[in-house]
Every structure is written in C-alpha cells, then in structure tokens.
Amino acid sequence: MNKIVKGDQVVVIAGKDKGKRGQVIRVLGGKVIVSGVNAVKRHQKPNPMRGVEGGIIVKEMPLDISNVAILNPETNKADRVGIKLIETEGKIKRVRFFKSNGSIIGA
C-alpha cells in the first residue's frame, strides 16, 4: 500500500512550488502528478489522426513523491503517513493514518 494515492490532497514541501497545494492526479512509481503544481509549457505538434491541435500547451510534470506530504484536514498542515493493520469483521485490513494525531485517512 502506498502512503500517497490518487485523489489525496497534498502539499509540496520542496522545490520551486514549495507551499502549493493540490490533488494527486496520478501516481507513477516514485513520482506523482499534482494538479496545478510543477506546470510547464511544452510545444506540441498537431496530430490530426488523434485530434490533437498543435501549439504551446501547459501541463503538469511529475514530482518526486518525497517532495510532497499529505494534507491533514484537521490541522490544515502537512503530515506524515503511517500504515497499520486493523481487524474488522474477522478480516485484517491495512489502513493509512496520520502520524501527528493517529486519525485514519479516508474514514
């Protein structure tokens, strides 16, 4: 289980966009793409077969997963994440929790 997954609200803790917040769009191994963060301009060739127009586009580039921290909605600050096992209805389930206050993420 990854500590940061798609849909999480995160804060950038290092780099040129330090302090910006956004939602994780995609997780690519050790990198994440966050909406509105690490945006760059790219020149794109038109591709009529795919229906893609040419020109200068703005797109988000991947950030290293170590440069983002999950946002704790209770404290409204960046927080560390831990993973623990919880038994519910006779089944053992892995859950993520905030290290600062111990509350379970997504519960």
Find the CATH number of the domain harbouring 84.
2.30.30.30
Q: Is residue 19 a part of any domain in this protein?
A: yes
Q: Is residue 105 a part of any domain in this protein?
A: no
Q: How many CB atoms lie within 10 A of CB 52?
A: 12
Distance (Å, whole) CA 7 – CA 99: 19
Domain assignment of residue 44, given as a range:
9-98
Of the candidates 2, 11, 66, 74, the residue with the CA atom closest to the CA atom of residue 37: 11
Q: Is residue 27 a part of any domain in this protein?
A: yes
**Predicted confidence band of residue 2 (pLDDT cuts 50, 70, 90):** confident
Q: Is residue 103 a part of any domain in this protein?
A: no
Structure tokens at 94: 């892995």
pTM for the full predicted model: 0.82
Judge contact between 58 and 73, C-beta under 8 A.
no
86-95 residue pLDDT tens:
998 889 999 9
Q: How many domains does the chain have?
A: 1
**Predicted confidence band of residue 107 (pLDDT cuts 50, 70, 90):** low
